[in-house]
Structure formats: C-alpha cells, structure tokens
Amino acid sequence: MTRTAPANLKSNDQCWCGSGRKYKRCHKGSEGRVRPGRVSPMLTVPDGIVPTDYYLTGRPARRDEPMVKSPEIIEAMRRACRIAAEVLAVTGEAVAPGITTDDLDRISHQAYIDRGAYPSTLNYHGYPKSICTSVNEVICHGIPDDRPLEDGDIVNIDVTAYIGGVHGDCNATFLVGEVDPESRRLVEVTRECRDLGIAAVKPGRPLSDIGRAIQGHAEVHGYGVVRTFVGHGIGEQFHLPPNVPHYFTESASTMMKPGMTFTVEPMITLGSWREKMWDNGWTAVTSDGRRTAQFEHTLVVTEDGAEVLTEL
Ligand code: MF3
Ligand code: CO
Ligand code: CO
C-alpha cells in the first residue's frame, strides 16, 4: 500500500487511499502513522490455569499489600518473572515483516498457557489481549490487531505473567527487518536507560535516583522521557505503590528498602515526550508522531543493589 501522498494532492481532492473521502478529512497529516486496526475477539484460558480476580469481571480488587515482600512472595515472583521473560523471548522470536500483532498475541497466549501462567493483561480493567504491542510512535498499551508489521518498523512487546498468586512484568523493543540507523540508536539507548536506572537502585536511597540516571542518559542523546506512564510496584497485584518515575522529580522520595519489588520501564522519545490517546482509551502515541521505544524489567531491591527477576 502507498504510504505517502502524491506530491500534488490538494486538501479537497479525493484521498489517495481510495476511501472516497476528501484528503484533508482522511490521511492528510497522518501518512506513515500507525492507525488502529481490527481487534479479534478476546481469548480465554483453559481450566487448570488459575486466573486473576479480574478475569471474569474486568475489575481488579484493591487490597492492602506491603511494598516490601516476604521471602515466600519473592520466591514466587522469581518464577512468574522467569515465565514472563520466556514468553517475551518466544514472542519476540516471531517478529518479522508481514506478521500481525494479533498473530504475536496468539503466540504469546499459548506460551503463557504452556507454562501454566495467566496473561495478566487479559481483561485487566477490560484490556482485551494477552500482551501490549506498541509500534513506532505508539508509546505503550498498543492493542494487538490485524496490522501486519512492516519492514523498518520497531515494535515493543510487553508481557506480564500471573502464576503462584503473583505477577512478573517485562518488555522489549524489537526491530522488524531493516531499520533505519536513527531508530536503531533510539532502541539501543532506551535499553541503556533502563539498565542505568536499575544500576541506580540502592537501599537507603530515594526512588528519584532512578529517574535522575535515566533522564540524564536520555538527554545526552537529545531524547525525551515520557512522564505520564511510570514504573510501579508489583507483586500479588499488577500495579501498586510505589510509582517509579523515569525522569527526575524530588517527589519520588520513597526510600528503597531490601525486599521492595517494582518495575523500571522507561519510554524514550526521539522528539516530544508528550502523548496523545487513541479513541480506544488505551493506546498512547507521541504528540508529534515521532518514534519511541521502551524496555522493562521487574526487580527486587537487595542489601546492596537490585536483583533483576525478568532476566533469562
Ligand atoms: N505491562 C504494562 C506495564 O508495564 C501494563 C499493561 S496494562 C494493560 O505496566 F492493561 F494495558 F495491559
Ligand atoms: Co510494568
Ligand atoms: Co509491562
């Protein structure tokens, strides 16, 4: 399909895409952008997979849960996190031009089930799929659909597994075919940002050290750091305190303590760090349509740093 307008096309001409609508009411200004596709019906999990409390209702029950976990919970999280990392690897292997994000969702769904895990995103506040797939300018929470990946795209796959009463959460950005050098650099630096954020984890230090490290590295490269979406506590619940901002803010004053579990998951942008939301209520895209990448790990704070739980 053509992705660029003929150079001479005027606002009031018929759109090049064949919709029959005026160019200005159709593709003008959004050539080359990702557009919402068709979302297939929600998948189910078989008996024998222990579901979350929101599988049938779409509403997670809020419970009191300490930020510092017991050794039993941490041990359970090691398993959930390892499974999440495996599902991410299996799904990432399938990334190639022509495969749809819905295909990736189905592959991941089976990979969770094969390992006895429930896909944490499934019906989480009504979210309809087993992973998030965020292409090019999509910052996060892209919903898998019938859009085939194109040569030159970048796609983030975000996997969260629930097993043994706890969640494990990780994501990575993958290259589709031949990707331009500017985007490849963005992906590489974003991974470095995540890893520098994790290297800043130390008991007795405030969480703001993490964002300071990430923002510093991003800005050296002239990149933006998304502010609206942050890392989060994780354990028996998918998202809970503390918030983990990926930019520096004094307000992230919670002190890190051994046994705390949370994610570090910076979203880094080539241009503006501001987002716009799609009408589906989930998907965030950069306000200027430029590309963005993300990497995520779940970790536990140790006596002298961090143990990454979602590493294979
Ligand atoms: N896995 C995402 C995170 O890193 C959250 C996805 S929630 C969903 O926090 F509902 F959008 F799937
Ligand atoms: Co997360
Ligand atoms: Co995630």
Segment 34-48, tens digit of pLDDT:
999 999 999 999 999
Domain that holds residue 89: 46-51+70-308
Buried b or exposed e, range 156-180, using 16+ CB within 10 angstroms: bbbbbbbbbebbbbbbbbbebeebe
**Which is the closest atom of ligand 1 to the Cα of 121?**
12
Beta carbon of 143 within 6 Å of any ligand 1 atom:
no
Distance CA(275)–CA(201), nearest Å, equals 27
Q: Is there a domain that residue 156 lies in?
A: yes
For residue 206, the cross-strand partners are 255
Domain count, the chain: 1
Q: Is there a domain that residue 10 lies in?
A: no
- State residue 3's pLDDT score: 54
Distance CA(244)–CA(163), nearest Å, equals 24
Provide the residues around ligand 3 (an ion) whose CB is within 5 A.
158, 169, 171, 296
The protein residue whose alpha carbon is closest to atom 11 in ligand 1 is 141
Distance 20 CA to ligand 1 centre (A): 37
Distance 14 CA to ligand 2 centre (A): 43
pLDDT tens profile 171-220: 999 999 999 999 999 999 999 999 999 999 999 999 999 999 999 999 99
Beta carbon of 310 within 6 Å of any ligand 1 atom:
no
Q: Is there a domain that residue 249 lies in?
A: yes
**Which is the closest atom of ligand 1 to the Cα of 282?**
11
Beta carbon of 296 within 6 Å of any ligand 1 atom:
yes
- State residue 150's pLDDT score: 98
Beta carbon of 298 within 6 Å of any ligand 1 atom:
no
Q: Is there a domain that residue 36 lies in?
A: no
Please enumerate in sequence order all residues whose Cβ is within 8 A of that of 84, keeping only pairs 6 or more positions apart, or say none: 117, 159, 160, 161, 168, 169, 170, 298, 310
CATH number of the domain to which 83 belongs: 3.90.230.10
- State residue 29's pLDDT score: 83
Which parts of the chain register pLDDT below 50? 1-2
Burial (Cβ within 10 Å: 0-12, 13-18, ≥19) of residue 13: middle
Beta carbon of 160 within 6 Å of any ligand 1 atom:
yes
Distance 231 CA to ligand 3 centre (A): 9
- State residue 131's pLDDT score: 99
What is the reported pTM? 0.95
- State residue 156's pLDDT score: 99
Q: Is there a domain that residue 30 lies in?
A: no
Beta carbon of 169 within 6 Å of any ligand 1 atom:
yes
Cα dihedral 279, 280, 284, 287 in deg (nearest 10): -10
Distance 158 CA to ligand 3 centre (A): 5
Q: Is there a domain that residue 18 lies in?
A: no
Q: Is there a domain that residue 76 lies in?
A: yes
- State residue 27's pLDDT score: 85
Distance 159 CA to ligand 3 centre (A): 6
**Which is the closest atom of ligand 1 to the Cα of 159?**
1
Task: With beta carbons less than 8 A apart as the criterion, state whether 235 and 299 touch.
Answer: no
Q: Is there a domain that residue 78 lies in?
A: yes
Distance 170 CA to ligand 2 centre (A): 7
Distance 185 CA to ligand 1 centre (A): 25
The protein residue whose alpha carbon is closest to atom 12 in ligand 1 is 121
> What sign does the dihedral 110-112-117-118 (CA atoms) show?
negative
- In a mutational test of the pocket of ligand 1, which residue from 101, 132, 237, 240 has the highest number of ligand atoms less than 8 Å from its CB? 132
- State residue 7's pLDDT score: 80
